[in-house]
Amino acid sequence: MNMEAGIDPADYLDEDERRSRRMRRLIIGGIIAVVVIVAAVLMTHRKPAPATGGDTSPSVTVIIPGRHTVTTQIPAVGNIGARRDMPVGVAGEGGIVRAVLVEPGTWVGAGQVLATVDRSVQVQQANALAASIAQARADAELAKSNLTRAKALVSSGFISKADIDAKQSALDGANARVAVAVAQLKQQQAQIGRLDIRAPTAGLVLTRSVEAGQIVSPGSGALFRIASEGKMELQARLTESDLQRVHIGSAATVTPVGTTLKIPGRVWQISPVIDPSNRQGTIRIELPYNSALRPGGFAAAEVAGGVGDVPLLPESAVQSDAKGNFVYIVGADNKVTRRDVKIGDVDDRGVTVLSGLAGTERVVAAAGAFLNEGDKVKPDLQRSTR
């Protein structure tokens, strides 16, 4: 078929076909534009290649720890008890308990009656002794009167000197019997007083093991236990080395199990011996009364182990392996060397270094786990804010 000159073949296409071709041309043009833009961005942000022979050492943060005054804290655990646990038993001959006047948890004063024992028999014995005193005093009065009359008759010769001596002796004997009767009554009254079971000291009643109607005797054991003045203590065990860092009067804080309390106390006694089986010794921490402190309970403690002038490091600076704890030091040649250290307490301020550092070294503060001894680094000094 002949086509007329100057006629575009597209003119013979239908409208849908022309629209489809225009759409394809727009899409292809958009894709080309995006590719050009991305290529331009990549060329703009491309970093230049490092020059041959440049320093490729990694940059690490280092710190000069200096020295800081710190109070070291020694952790310990132990059992709570009364500082002075006073057992109270029968002081007299005992008998039937008539009344118990206190319960565990009661505060008592020194000499306060805790329980009473029947004293009916002892009271009758005391009454009999009181009567014997009256009789002895009557005999003494009679003997005194006889002596007085006899002395009046001596001058008339009716009474001999021997009779006077006899009557004087009778008066002396009567007075002695009065004194004996009085002493016996006081002894009986003292025995009656000992039938009252009394507190030997002021304090807090911890236990009671007696009831009314019970028969008690000196062999009955402790009927009550009292914490003298209500003072408690924590008996904690420390290792032999930690025991050397504690002294009488060292401050401590105690936290009973199940609480968040921080009860202040002080070390009042240090064991003079070490248990050879576990190389531990006992310290006793005096504590004021607190309802959370129950004898027989368990508690944790932090004991002041003395004040020291030592380096402090962030925890991230200290590494550990089979040989122990260590840090990495950056020398003058910017090479990393290992330094073994002995660490102490760890708190919010950091890790206390007890030995191994003078405090003037450049210590790798972080990323030590990615370094090896001998690596060369670029140190970036971080100023200590402690």
Give the three-state DSSP class for 382: strand
Please say if the pLDDT value at position 112 is more than 70: yes
More confident residue, 46 or 237: 237
Question: How many angstroms separate the Cα of 127 from the Cα of each of 120, 181, 182, 190?
Answer: 11, 11, 12, 14
What confidence tens digit (pLDDT) does each residue in 354-382 have? 888 988 999 998 877 788 888 899 888 88
Q: So what's the pLDDT on residue 6?
A: 47
Is the predicted pLDDT of residue 293 greater than 60, yes or no?
yes
pLDDT at 153 > cutoff 80: no
Mean pLDDT (whole number) for 103-107: 93
Structure-token pair, residue 354: 């007890």
Return the ∠ at Cα 277 (arms to 274 and 279), rounded to 5°. Answer: 40
Collapsing DSSP to helix, strand or coil, 127 comes out as: helix
What is the average per-residue pLDDT within 201-225? 92
| Assessment of whether the complete model's pTM goes beyond 0.75 | no
Q: Any long-range contacts for 341-344 (C-beta under 8 Å, 24+ apart)? A: 343/318, 344/72, 344/308, 344/310
383 pLDDT exceeds 90? no
